[in-house]
Amino acid sequence: MIDPRIFKVEIREGKERTIKSYVLRNNVLDEKGEKALTEGSKYLVYFEDGKTLDSPSLFSNSNPFVIEIGFGMGNATLEIAKEKSDVNYLGLEVYLDGVVKLVKRLNEEGLKNLKVMRFNAVDVLEHMVADESVDGFHIFFPDPWMKKKHHKRRLMNPSFISLLISKLKKGGYIYFVTDWVEYADEVLSYFESEKRIVNPSGGFSPHISWRPETKFEAKGRAKEHEVREIWVEKK
Ligand SMILES: C[S@@+](CC[C@H](N)C(=O)[O-])C[C@H]1O[C@@H](n2cnc3c(N)ncnc32)[C@H](O)[C@@H]1O
């Protein structure tokens, strides 16, 4: 039996909707999806307003806790978690097919350090993550919302960046990557005006060796898009 909470991805729905950084394309599970989520149910975490996400109780250890926002199909997410088994990862994504795919692979491979939550990351951070409790955030190739009239939908805006920083422990990092140069410049300028962080590279970062190519990155590179990486740390 599927937990019905999997179909609700945001606090405000319908008329109450605010500007969102995503569009929900599918909210229905086929038989294979139901099977994958039922068999991999131990990898799913559900949104519970007011309940604080606690890495030691989710993973039964006190390893560093890193949150990835918008993992897509989760290929890179899984590779990173396999490579760094001494870090706990929580992947946030609203795209149902991606959630199904990652949970299925997690269950097949039996990883112990990665869990998945299907919910709007803004709601999760605002309602379930304590301040100064996260060791790192991964945000790889968030939707660039190319048209000017859609820029307001971009995930990385000053208020979301401020929220991310408030949730980081001292010394924690934000690792952001995009193939949209103008979005990269915008995000870098937001970080430059943030007094709570340091940028060890002083600008864009060299490629971080442990990050594998993501699905969206491959698409961007095929179109000869330039990839920009940003790595900043909380003071
Ligand atoms: C362009 S895709 C990139 C996926 C993956 N990181 C990659 O590089 O292949 C961006 C993803 O972010 C997800 N997303 C956007 N806003 C989100 C939010 N507020 N909370 C959770 N996921 C979000 C979308 O559903 C989409 O799958």
In a domain, 215, yes or no: yes
Domain of residue 230 covers: 60-71+117-234
In a domain, 43, yes or no: no
Is the CB–ligand 1 distance for residue 47 below 6 Å? Answer: no
In a domain, 171, yes or no: yes
Q: DSSP string of 77-100?
A: HHHHHHH-TTSEEEEE---HHHHH
Measured in angstroms, how far is the CA atom of residue 137 from the centroid of ligand 1? 13
pTM of this prediction exceeds 0.95: yes
Q: Which of 97, 123, 143, 179 is catalytic?
A: 143
User: What phi-psi label fits residue 135: left (phi over 0), alpha (psi between -120 and 50 degrees) or beta?
Assistant: alpha
Measured in angstroms, how far is the CA atom of residue 142 from the centroid of ligand 1? 5
In a domain, 155, yes or no: yes
CATH number at residue 201: 3.40.50.150
Ordered per-residue pLDDT tens for the chain, 235 residues: 899 999 999 998 665 568 899 999 899 999 999 999 999 999 999 999 989 999 999 999 999 999 999 999 999 999 999 999 999 999 999 999 999 999 999 999 999 999 999 999 999 999 999 999 999 999 999 999 999 999 999 999 999 999 999 999 999 999 999 999 999 999 999 999 999 999 999 999 999 999 999 999 999 999 999 999 999 999 9
Is the CB–ligand 1 distance for residue 92 below 6 Å? Answer: yes
Measure CA 38 to chain center.
23
The DSSP secondary-structure symbol of 124 reads H
In a domain, 3, yes or no: no
In a domain, 149, yes or no: yes
Cβ(80)–Cβ(89) below 8 Å:
yes
Pairing of β 228-234 and β 168-178: antiparallel
123 among known catalytic residues: no
User: Rounded to the nearest 10 degrees, what angle do helices 121-128 and 158-167 cross at?
Assistant: 40
Q: What is the dihedral of CA 79, 20, 190, 71, to 10 degrees?
A: 0
- Count the domains in the chain: 1
